[in-house]
A and B are shown apart, each in its own frame.
Chain A
Amino acid sequence: MTDPASTIRLVIVDDEPLARGILRELLAPHADLQIVAECGNGFEAVKSVTDLKPDLLLLDIQMPKLDGFDVLDLIGTQVPVIFITAYDEYAIKAFEVHAVDYLLKPFSAERLEEALVRARQRIGTKERPPVREIVSAARPDRTPLQRILIRDKADVHVIPVGRIDYVESQDDYVAVKSAGKTYLKEQTLAELETLLDPGAFVRIHRRYILNLSRLARIELAVTDSRIAILSDGTQLPVSRSGYARLRELL
């Protein structure tokens, strides 16, 4: 699969039927390219990447529910991506800075050809662009976070931050607790903390971030350690610095 001469299996993602049509049309003459899936939205894109493990993704940015950057955030560095956009100042800047290939609508057959040549070279190497940096540079208005996207194999859960009860750190993962359910996401607690609204979420402990609106009361446990009691009865430890942060906000 790493041999540049072999067939490249690609997935095209665009919510507009005509846009998928022109990709199909322009890719048709390439005998060494095989379109393994056409996706009309981000959920289908994540599913296709999981199920089909394509070599390349042609990914439109403006899409409903999950846009191109959400998809990138979810699939990480799994697949090389060529982005497609009509007009997006921030995204274009991010692509230039991180030398990621992108196409501007409308694009020519030649421009698509160029992008494919570069993509072939990238497939051969293990070199991958820094996903998180691109996402945050392309969407500077994304903090504070409004929702958390969690990939559960081929499925995607969208959790608005208001529905999060608390977040627990579990090694390289965070466990997002919402209405009795647990969702695992590959991210560090420290990174998530910087993205959440500091007025609504507090790092109460090395291992916990709490949604302030869920806090019912704080109880004193043995010798100056404290316990946060949530409105659903859950008990979470509060560290000394966590307690100081809480007091600042309450």
Chain B
Amino acid sequence: MHPILGDPRRLGIYLLLWLLIGLLLTIGLRGDTAWTTAAAFFLPLCFLYAFVCLSAWYICRFYPLEKGARLINATVVYVVAATIASGSWVLAGGFWALALDNFAGGFAARRLFDGQQLLLLVVGALLFFLAAAAHYLLIAFQASREAEKRAIELDLLAKEAELKALRAQIDPHFIFNSLHSISALTASDPAAARRMCLLLADFLRETLRLGANSRITLSDELALADRFLAIEQVRLGPRLQVARDTDPTASDCLVPPLLLQPLVENAVVHGIAQLIDGGTIRLAAARDGGMLTITLENPCDPDRARTRGVGLGLDLLRKRLTTQYGAAHAVVANEQEGRFLVQVRMPAVTAA
């Protein structure tokens, strides 16, 4: 695609520049000829030459600017091309002068043209070189823009892959602890052991199933969180209490899959499990107008050993929401007096 012909805006700017060149030639080479004559002669001539010079692009493409380029070949080709272009231009100029004088009358275009042919030949050649240089610039500009775009696309692809891998990750602690709970229940309470087996199987299956979608309903996401919390309740006993408050209109909203799961896991692992007496995890979802707000609150030990895990989880959450919604989201996390609170706001979107 021609960088100027293919883009009306650029073509406009290019023709404007040529109008300027035409005016300069009018002013510079008018001599004692009338303004109108000089303008009537030079402006259409420049308009014509503007399109001739667009052909420089084909040479530019054939001789790209790079290391080890065939410089001598290119120079010869350019000189020949410029001469041909300029020569035909001057020839056209001659015909145009004749036409003006003969058909319109009152002009003295021939007088203006005669004696300036050589000068016009040189100017024409120089303008052709200038056009070639401009084409090289445009080509370089386009190439860098494309490289940038490709880099961004690759980056996005890599991020998506990374997110996918992280989403699919299930905490090994969770698996082994759950299996240990099942093992412990086997003799003392076989029915409970079986329930736990089924809960764990459901949770794993749902994690795999939901993770394969690009968006799921909030109610699916919350159902997964419920399963997870039910399993952890078997392990932690009365230390883990759960309070849920979901606005029914929020349940249908679509969210990226396993968006809340890492937050819920953090609330248990870094919150409740670090407290000797445990506490209550509060999970709420509400919809106000166009926005969906999910709030997760859990007690925590203010003196606990800090790990990078929680911060990384929040970073990942922000990245995922940015990929999905751009700037139209907010993730707020704060810890105050032994309570950790995360609030996620995003556009409330439902399936059509």
Contact = CB atoms under 8 A, between A and B. Distances in A.
Top 5 A-B pairs, shortest CB-CB distance: A22-B184, A105-B180, A86-B176, A106-B183, A18-B184
17 contacts: A15-B276, A16-B181, A18-B180, A18-B184, A22-B180, A22-B183, A64-B273, A87-B172, A87-B173, A87-B176, A105-B176, A106-B180, A106-B182, A106-B184, A142-B305, A146-B306, A147-B303
B272 to A, nearest CB: 9
Interface residues of B, number: 27
Interface stretch (B8-16, B66-74, B231-239): B231-239
B236 A16 contact: yes
A29 interface: no
A21 B234 CA distance: 13
B224 to A, nearest CB: 21
Interface in A156-209: 158, 160
Given A16-B181, A22-B180, A105-B177, 18 more contacts: A15-B273, A16-B177, A16-B237, A21-B188, A25-B188, A43-B276, A62-B173, A62-B273, A64-B273, A65-B301, A86-B172, A86-B176, A86-B177, A87-B172, A105-B176, A105-B183, A146-B305, A147-B303
Contacts of B235: 16, 18
Interface in A31-61: 40-41, 43
A65 B274 contact: yes
Contacts of A140: none
B187 interface: yes
Interface string B271-300: 001111000000000000000000000000
B185 interface: yes
Contacts of A21: 184, 188
Contact of B301 (A15, A43, A64, A107): A64
A158 B176 contact: no
B179 interface: yes
B288 to A, nearest CB: 37
Given A62-B173, A146-B305, A18 B275 contact: no
A15 B176 CA distance: 15
